[in-house]
Amino acid sequence: MPAWLWPRERSINADGHQSTKAWSPVQAVGARAPRTPRAVPTSLWLGLLGLLAAAGLAGCGARVDPATPAPAASPSSGAPSVRPGVAVAPGLGMVTSVSAVNDAGAMVIGRAGPTGTEFYYLASGAQPVPLTFEGAPIEPSLLNNAGQVVGLVVDRARDQPPRLVRWQGGRGIILPVHGDQIIPEDLNDRGQVTAITVIHRPGSAQDSDAATTRRAYLIDGTTAVDLGMDPDANERNLYLNEAGQVAGLAFADSGSARRGFLWERGGLTTFDTGPTTHPVVMGINDSGQVAGLVLNDDDSPSGAHPIFRPAFRWRSGTMTALDTRGGGAGPVRINHSGQVAGVVTDASGSARDVVVWSSAPEAHPTRLGIVDADHVVAINDQGDVLLSSITGPTASPGGYLWHDNQLITLATLGGLAADPGGLSADGLVVGASTSTDGAWHATAWPPTPTPDRPGPS
């Protein structure tokens, strides 16, 4: 995925201050499609709170639903409710990031250490556990609902190739893939992992495509299955569901063409969007529905300006164009029921809104009337939509949650900026926000207590 399709990446230095740059999906931790919902018991929330103190598709025969409902009254024109944030694991010191959250409220968190970022697994109501393997730190990439973490153990002297590790409960195992570079892609609740390996040919420039061999794998236990394709190693690419289906983008015809694919039990189905475009997959749910965008083949990366293109949902050979009312969509997210959410623009590109397309075959769009959203971070299986925005006179990053037809602002820890990064099935939001001194801290925004989910007494 070109970095310019995606949110900016925040890098936080040792004193807790931030710099930003274009964000590449393969660098993200836990940025995957949500899984089947698991309601979080009240006891887990109590423990957590205690611890926290469509034009491009029409030519391809895709169905287009032309009937767009009238826009809802704009929630952002009124006064949204505010959800307070709380600092994550304050007893651990300067925790600057939450890399991922699962549906049980467990998190992967990071803090600045003397030799680099130190990562921990933080279960609800428990103490943080260092993420290490044989004494070496794990650089985590993925977290599932079983509490498994997948990441890399990298020799800091760069004398040895990286090792891919799956960690759970304080113990790790090496997964059977090897390469000069290993890119963890996705992890399901069964512990299956998708990954890309890159091997550099001796004597060749490492930044040349001709100098590398790329392979895509599905790892199941002690077995690594070669998916038989040439993946794009420059983007988040191999999305995995609970059925073991893998969807993404691969090169075909000796690297001259790019096509979407669905791999299942050794069989490969490909799909494309026309002679001058290609699909970019952004998620697959457990029903095998794939969501993404249609890019022009000549689209060029530009970190400064986002791009909006036709959006689609694909399943079993049928592609449905998602109506954007003559404009385009930014990155889209899909949940288990087949709802898709994304930020769209009008035909002129000057006005934005957030749209949720229904799970019905016609994908009816509902416009939420949120005009200042930057991109959709996630949509969970309850239909909650997590949004990142650029707000205020200083264009500070901010966050919203669309919940029960209401827009909720994610409060900071006293500063000007918030950066949401993850959403659980029960509505827990995690990310980072600033304090009064401008430093970034790992932050959680727990759901507001309700009669069926009371808060602490």
Mean pLDDT of 279-308: 84
Q: Residue 203's pLDDT band (boundaries 50, 70, 90)?
A: low
The residues spanned by each domain of the chain are 1-31+40-108+327-445
pLDDT score of 155: 81
| Mean pLDDT of the region 259-275 | 93
| Amino acid in position 391 | T
Task: Quickly list H helices, 36-143.
Answer: 42-52, 55-58
**What's the pLDDT at 49?**
36
299 or 352, greater pLDDT: 352
Q: How buried is 347 (Cβ within 10 angstroms: 0-12 exposed, 13-18 middle, 19+ buried)?
A: exposed
**Can you read off the two tokens belonging to residue 325?**
């009312």
According to the model, what pLDDT value does residue 28 have? 30
Q: Cβ distance 314 to 290 under 8 Å?
A: yes
Question: Which pLDDT value is given to residue 67?
Answer: 32
Is the alpha carbon torsion for 444, 449, 450, 453 positive or negative? positive
107-137 pLDDT, tens per residue? 999 998 888 899 999 999 899 999 999 999 9
pLDDT tier, 25 (very low <50, low <70, confident <90, very high otherwise):
very low
One-letter-per-residue 3-state SS of 264-317: ECCEEEEECCCCCEEEEEEEECCCCCEEEEEEECCCCCCCCCCCCECEEEEECC
pLDDT, greater one: 59 or 253? 253
Identify which has the larger pLDDT, 55 or 149.
149
pLDDT digits (tens, 9 = 90+) for 59-98: 444 444 433 333 333 444 456 799 999 999 998 888 889 9
Instruction: Band the pLDDT of 55: cuts 50, 70, 90.
Output: very low
Between 220-224, 303-307, 439-443, the lowest mean confidence (pLDDT) is in 303-307
Nearest to residue 89, comparing CAs of 118, 48, 117, 130? 48
Q: What are the pLDDT digits (tens) for 352-378? A: 999 999 999 989 999 999 998 999 999
Pairwise CA distance, residues 138 & 172, whole Å: 10
Of the pLDDT bands very low, low, confident and very high (cuts 50, 70, 90), residue 202 is: confident
Position 198: which residue type? V
Indicate the average pLDDT of the chain: 80
Beta pairing partners, 315: 318
pLDDT at 215 over 80: yes
Q: What is the pLDDT, as a whole number, of residue 251?
A: 83
- Encode pLDDT of 162-177 as tens digits: 999 999 999 999 999 9
As a whole number, mean pLDDT of residues 313-319 equals: 95
- Tens-digit pLDDT profile for residues 183-198: 999 999 999 999 999 9
- Is residue 418 a contact partner of residue 412, using CB atoms and an 8 Å limit? yes
pLDDT of residue 41: 34
How many C-beta neighbours within 10 Å does residue 445 have? 26
How many whole angstroms separate alpha carbon 200 and alpha carbon 203?
9
Question: What angle is formed at CA 67 by the lines to CA 284 and CA 271, rounded to 5 degrees?
Answer: 35
**In sequence order, what are the residues at sequence separation of 6 or more whose Cβ sits closer than 8 angstroms to the Cβ of residue 309?**
56, 293, 294, 295, 296, 299, 328, 329
At 359 the pLDDT is: 94
